[in-house]
Structures are given as structure tokens and as C-alpha cells.
Amino acid sequence: MGSGEDSGVGADYPQRATIRDVAARAGVSIGTASKALNASGSLRQETRDRVVAAANELGFRPNAMAQSLHRSRSMTVGVLTTDSFGRFIFPILEALEETLAGHGIAIFMCNATDDPEREQQHLDQLLGKRIDGLLVTARRMDRRPAIAVPGKSMPVIYVFSQSDDPDALCLLPDDHGGAVLAVEHLIATGRRRIAHITGPAEFEAVTLRHQGYVDTLARAGLPALPEHYLNGLWSEAWGREAVDQLFADAATAPDALFCGNDQIARGASDALRERGLTVPQDVAVVGFDNWDVMALAARPPLSSVDMNLHRLGRAAGERLIAMIGGERIRGVERLPCSLVVRPSSAPAGHTDTTQQNQNS
């Protein structure tokens, strides 16, 4: 101990200048200084300038906590992820952050990793920080229990996850519509025997996309064969295995695959190639998620449904700001997906086109 001149314990950094320092330097009272800096009140121009100059010289930056205390608006919101930040959450977060930052709102990031106790701790902490709003994301499979915010006191939005709280707003991609886009595209490019390989049936998204698939086939007068609908894991290995099943019997072999995600699609595409089938000439493939790492690395590159997560994040930010402003929004809102067409499903000529539908 005692090496150097700083006392050794605690962060004894120089205190930042306060408005009191600014006022002193400008030779005015703190009230006047405040007015000058906020362009409010009625002051002589010369006085304003003097105060502003003093503030700049001191590198003054108003203490947001003191301001918030006064305004009882913290200008912060919490983002609570139930499962850990996954690949899907990123683009949402990014857009959310951008949107909120544009309104001067900062984000507290919390991650509860599916531990209810940690979730509660985080929530307590956020409540203590007097966040103006809360955004909850979770793994999509489960309809998560409502977050217990005391006294209905704060706007809450669930993004990419759903809650059973009827007063909350849930923002989700339109899985049904995404499936419709994919299947319509396959039909439009001449496919008639379209199979659907997807993930575990417990996921609501799986059900919804399947429904979109079935509905679209029906509307086109095509049969939805039971043996063309395969549930499994979200993995490439499952994609390969599913192709083996589908093509075991040449009689019922499909001429197109609509896959529940890009990993399945890529696995399927690999398996097709190894069977000597050409994508897209023999079999067209469309994936879901438009995850570039998968979709672009596949051979040929995969057509895929894009959930427009960036837009979802932006929408979440906008809704949250509206709710903080006093609007009451609730219910489930599903935002449209788009289809990105790449060679895996393209009739020669088309490539990398984006289609988009309305909410369906």
C-alpha cells in the first residue's frame, strides 16, 4: 500500500464538473445556468453564451441520474432475455438499440438463462433503476409466463416470444405467412410434390409454418401427403436423414423441399447431391431463417424465408416508445416475412430476389 499518490482504495477519479461549477465560472446562479443550458426561461443572449462557454471549458455533462430523478423518467429500458442471447436475438437487439438510441433511450441488457431466480433478481434490479419500459425475449418454443411487474406499472413487450399476459404486447414474425411465401414460390416455379422437413412439433413456429404449407397446397389444389411432412431436430444431420426417408420410395419422392430452417435445408441439399440429384433441377429447396452463414455456403446457395428480425427489432423499439408515451398497445402482432430467392429454387435466370407479402 501507499505506492503512488492516490489513496489506494476506491475509484478516486477527479469528480466531473457539476452545473454548480459551471454557474460559478459563468458568474450566475445554478438556476440560471440550467436555463441557459436547456434553452429555457428568459435570459439575455449574452448570459446564455457565457454559460455555454463555461460549460464547454469545464467539459460539463449533466448528470443523467439527477435529471431522471427530477423528471421521473429514467430514459432507460431493460431487455431481459430468458434463454441466453441467441443468434436470432442479435439482429433484433441491434435494431432495437438503434431505434431507442435515436430517442435518447439507453438499454440495460440482462440475461436470465432460463433461471427464474436470476430472472427475478434482474427484474428487481431493473425496477430499482426505474426503467421506463421492459422488453422480454425468450426461446420461441414456449409461451412464457408473464413477467411479474408490480402494479401493471410499466410497458412490457415480448419480442420473438409470447406471453399469456393478455395485457402485454407480443411481437412475432408471421410464421404462417412465411411458409405461404415459400410454398407459393415453389408452386409458381412448377413444383407439385412439395415436402416439408422441419423441427420438433412442440415449437409453435413449427405448427404455424406447417399450417401455412398445408393451406397453400390446398389453395393450389395440391394434396398434402402425410409422408411429406417430417418432424425432427433443427440440424443438418436431420435434414440429411429426412432426405433419405423421403427418397427411399421413388414413387412418392418429392420435387421440392420446404425446410423449417436453413440447417435442415443445407443438410437436405447435401444429401440430395450425394444421391446424385441436382438442386434445383431435380429438387428445389427452400429454407427458413435466411441465415447467411448457412444459406450462402450451401451449394447451390439456398433460397430462404427471412423473418426480417431487424424490422422486428425496430418495430419493438417504436412500440415501446409509443407505450412509454402513454399509448396502450396489446395483443399479438405478427410482422411479415420475406422470401429471398437464390439458386436452390430458382428457375434459371432468377437469383437473389426478395419477395414479400402482407400480413396474412
Partner DNA sequence: ACAATTTCGGAAAAGGTTTTCTTTGATCGT
Partner DNA sequence: ACGATCAAAGAAAACCTTTTCCGAAATTGT
Binding site for DNA (CB under 7 A): 15, 18-20, 27-35, 37-38, 40-44, 46-47, 60-63, 66-67, 69-72
Are residues 278 and 345 in contact, defined by beta-carbon separation less than 8 angstroms? no
Closest contact distance (angstroms) between CB of 307 and DNA is 41
For residue 53, the surrounding DSSP H or E stretch is helix 45-58
Q: Which is nearer to DNA, 37 or 272 (CB)?
A: 37
Residue whose grid cell is 469545464: 58
Which of residues 87, 120, 245, 329 is near a second copy by CB under 8 A? 87
* Options 33-41, 78-86, 202-210, 341-349: segment touching a second copy (CB under 8 A): 78-86
124 binds a second copy (CB under 8 A): yes
74 binds a second copy (CB under 8 A): yes
65 binds a second copy (CB under 8 A): yes
Residue whose grid cell is 433441377: 281
Q: Which is nearer to DNA, 23 or 195 (CB)?
A: 23
218 binds, among DNA, a second copy, none (CB under 5 to 8 A by kind): none
Q: Could you tell me how many residues of this chain bind a second copy (CB under 8 A)?
A: 69
Q: Which is nearer to a second copy, 90 or 116 (CB)?
A: 90
3-state SS, 13-74, equals CCCCCCHHHHHHHHCCCHHHHHHHHHCCCCCCHHHHHHHHHHHHHHCCCCCHHHHHHHHCCC
Cα distance from N-terminal residue to C-terminal residue, the chain: 69
Which of residues 22, 51, 110, 341 is near a second copy by CB under 8 A? 110
120 binds a second copy (CB under 8 A): no
Enumerate residues 6+ apart whose C-beta is below 8 A from 277.
Answer: 247, 283
In 52-168, at which residue ranges do the beta strands (DSSP E only) sit?
76-81, 106-111, 133-137, 143-144, 156-159, 162-163
Residue whose grid cell is 429555457: 40
For residue 315, the surrounding DSSP H or E stretch is helix 309-324
154 binds a second copy (CB under 8 A): yes
Determine if the peptide bond prior to 280 is cis (ω within 30°). yes
Long-range contacts (CB closer than 8 Å, 24 or more residues apart) made by 36-45? 37/62
Are residues 197 and 257 in contact, defined by beta-carbon separation less than 8 angstroms? yes
99 binds a second copy (CB under 8 A): no
Closest contact distance (angstroms) between CB of 57 and DNA is 15
Q: Which is nearer to DNA, 28 or 294 (CB)?
A: 28
Residue type for position 51:
V
267 binds a second copy (CB under 8 A): yes
128 binds a second copy (CB under 8 A): yes
Q: Which is nearer to a second copy, 41 or 90 (CB)?
A: 90
Q: Which is nearer to a second copy, 210 or 266 (CB)?
A: 266
Round to whole Å and give the CA distance between 269 and 252: 18
Chain residues in the site for a second copy (CB under 8 A): 6, 8-16, 59, 61-66, 68-69, 72-74, 76, 79, 84-85, 87, 90, 93-94, 97-98, 101, 104, 106-111, 113, 118, 121-122, 124-130, 132, 150-155, 235-237, 263, 267, 293, 297, 323-326
